[in-house]
Amino acid sequence: MASTVGARSAKPRYLQIADDIEEQIRAGRLAPAEEIPSETALMERYGVSSGTVRKAVAQLRTTGLVETYQGKGSFVKSRPPVTRKSSDRFRRSHRRAGKAAYIAETEQAGVKPTVQVLSIGPVSAPAEIAERLGVDEGDKVLARRRLYFSDGTPTEEATSYLPWDVARDIPELFEENPGGGGIYARLEEHGHEFAEYTETVRARLATKQEASALSLSPGSPIIHLTRNAVTTVGRVVEVCDTIMAADQFVLDYRIPATD
Amino acid sequence: MASTVGARSAKPRYLQIADDIEEQIRAGRLAPAEEIPSETALMERYGVSSGTVRKAVAQLRTTGLVETYQGKGSFVKSRPPVTRKSSDRFRRSHRRAGKAAYIAETEQAGVKPTVQVLSIGPVSAPAEIAERLGVDEGDKVLARRRLYFSDGTPTEEATSYLPWDVARDIPELFEENPGGGGIYARLEEHGHEFAEYTETVRARLATKQEASALSLSPGSPIIHLTRNAVTTVGRVVEVCDTIMAADQFVLDYRIPATD
DNA sequence: TCTCACAACTCCTATACATGAGTGAATGTG
DNA sequence: CACATTCACTCATGTATAGGAGTTGTGAGA
């Protein structure tokens, strides 16, 4: 026989096959972005029926090792470079250099960042956002939705929410490009001096909408980051809600030791 | 017909069925820990074959909505309460109150925390750990592996690594219970005063080992947290590597606005 | 009463087959 | 040459069927 899977074992056949292919991927015999043998080829190769092969490939999909496209085939997933989001990306010095936070963080990862503004305009505040902003649920707030790309592939979808009475007075916030240093620079110019940011990190599987927005395969994990920007008077003037493809980001935080 | 799934639509039948059951779960008509109808029952109910029903249930499994046990049935997963890990859990005041970090953080979630020590002893440092500790890969370091439970279910596996020359002098670090305030209290008692902690957050799918250690279903997302504890002389005297079930934790961080 | 074997139920693996739908290249036609 | 058609390939959905394996209750026998 051309190939013997893991000899005899208690494991079901489809897992043996999945393990065998996984091993080939990890050993580099199947390179990233390379096509793995078609279902019919695998059926012959392992001498099993189509159903079994399909279950094996499905297993690899849920492990996140391959992606399959109908009509084309299954391909070894290539791991995109990770970009680090360090907690000092909000330094004013970055803003004074004219850089918005996302530029400061991605340019050091060696990838070309791009932004696409999806929408800017008033929306009624969702519950969690309203609570964070200290307004009532359903109140009018400004939402800025945008999609970030690294080297052309979408990696991150972010929505900033601002209380209407804050946003109203700052015309740049309604522009696609809010100007050098991003919206945080504009907010500080208008007297909202930031004291701190608080970030909430969650991880979960992408919903259908999120998966399609970030062109992920279903079942991909995402990082859900929600940030409050708090001014020196203790007011939250912006909440930023971000969905990130989990395999493309690493978050770094510094926690000073205090009493 | 007893039940009409979403009428006609482009969606495949098995997804319609999965959506229908999901809707029943979300609406509370199928309560947590309750058994969902058996495969044969669902076959009759929706008038489809076993394969289709099985795919529908598989879909619900990957979504994390149900768990199925061979020979018993499928059950709606009861979501354990999330525990927040806020960045002030390392305050010395908590330690002085005799509380280790994990106690301080879980007891406010209303769940009963338990710890099981898996192993304590010298190991040779893995690459990433060695780099963080500033020692050579393979050097002898002390590893403390432990498994945390919330209300009896495992949620978190953590391994602390300490340079051997630091650990050697502190006998309590080799005990299962290092005493009030945890190992950080012992380290500070021995002259290692902490200046800051740096945490690195990643999210990904659980490996087979991680899934079984935390008794997660395969394909579950996890949060991978790695923390350096840095002393006032700039030395990293501990690295803590933690795997958490993603659906049970929320991480909170405060980032002071600086220049 | 207790124990053990069995039946009846659950889900799991695997086969074989039919049909549908997306992709891409070769081919033919204007 | 440009364009549409065809065809061979891919995976996706769904049926029907068979046997295996884990779980649980029940009933016969000691």
Could you report the per-residue pLDDT of A203-254, keeping only the tens digit for each? 999 988 898 889 888 889 999 999 999 999 999 999 999 999 999 999 999 9
Q: Which residue is nearest to nucleotide D14 (CA to C1')?
A: B52
B33 CA to D22 C1' in angstroms comes to: 20
In this prediction, residues A84-102 reach a mean pLDDT of 80
For chain A, the helix, strand and coil percentages under 3-state DSSP, each to the nearest 5: 35, 35, 35
Q: Is the CB of A38 under 7 A from strand C?
A: no
Q: Does A258 contact B91 at a Cβ distance shorter than 8 Å?
A: yes
Residues A68 and A161 in one domain: no
| pLDDT single digits (tens) A21-32 | 999 999 999 988
Residues A107 and A186 in one domain: yes
Q: What is the pLDDT of residue B99?
A: 67
Question: Exposure pattern of B221-252 as b/e (b: 16+ CB <10 Å)?
Answer: bbbbbbbbbbbeeeebbbbbbbbbbbbbbbbb
B219 CA to C19 C1' in angstroms comes to: 31
Residues B89 and B70 in one domain: no
| pLDDT single digits (tens) B58-102 | 999 988 899 999 999 999 998 877 888 888 888 888 887 776 666
A–B CB contacts, 8 A cutoff, strictly below = 121
Residue A257 lies in a domain: no
**Distance (Å, whole) CA A169 – CA A107:** 32
Last-in-domain residue among A25, A53, A76 = A76
Q: Does A253 contact B199 at a Cβ distance shorter than 8 Å?
A: yes
In this prediction, residues A46-67 reach a mean pLDDT of 95
* Tokens 């579950």, located at residue: B220
Q: Which two tokens stand for residue B178?
A: 């290092």
Is residue B104's pLDDT more than 70?
no
Q: What is the residue range of B100's domain?
A: 83-252
* Phi and psi at residue B138, to the nearest 5°: 95, -10
Q: What crossing angle do the helices spanning B50-63 and B39-46 adopt, rounded to 10°?
A: 110
Residues B202 and B244 in one domain: yes
Residue B257 lies in a domain: no
Q: What is the pLDDT of residue A101?
A: 66
Residues B25 and B120 in one domain: no
Q: What is the pLDDT of residue B180?
A: 83
Residues A23 and A122 in one domain: no
CATH number at A152 reads 3.40.1410.10
Residue A259 lies in a domain: no
Cα angle for residues A160, B248, B59 (degrees, 5° grid): 90
Residues A104 and A229 in one domain: yes
Q: Which residues is B114 bridged to in the sheet?
A: B149
Q: What is the pLDDT of residue A150?
A: 84
Q: Is the CB of B74 under 7 A from strand C?
A: yes
Q: Does A257 contact B199 at a Cβ distance shorter than 8 Å?
A: no
Residue A200 lies in a domain: yes
Residue A5 lies in a domain: no
Q: Among candidates A110, A159, A152, A155, which has minimal Cα distance to A247? A: A155
Is residue B8's pLDDT more than 50?
no
Q: Does B201 contact A63 at a Cβ distance shorter than 8 Å?
A: no
Tally: H helices and E strands in chain B: 9, 10
Q: Among candidates A115, A117, A92, A93, which has minimal Cα distance to A102? A: A115
Q: What is the pLDDT of residue A61?
A: 93
Residues B203 and B115 in one domain: yes
Q: What is the pLDDT of residue A187?
A: 96
E-state strands within A58-193: 66-69, 73-76, 83-86, 113-124, 140-150, 153-163
Interface test mutation site (partner A, options B19, B248, B255, max chain A beta carbons within 10 A): B255
Residues B72 and B121 in one domain: no
Residues B123 and B220 in one domain: yes
Number of structural domains chain A divides into = 2
B28 CA to D20 C1' in angstroms comes to: 35
CATH number at B51 reads 1.10.10.10
Residue B181 lies in a domain: yes
From first CA to last CA, the distance across chain A in angstroms is: 68
Q: Which residues is B144 bridged to in the sheet?
A: B120, B160
Is residue A200's pLDDT more than 90?
yes
Residue B110 lies in a domain: yes
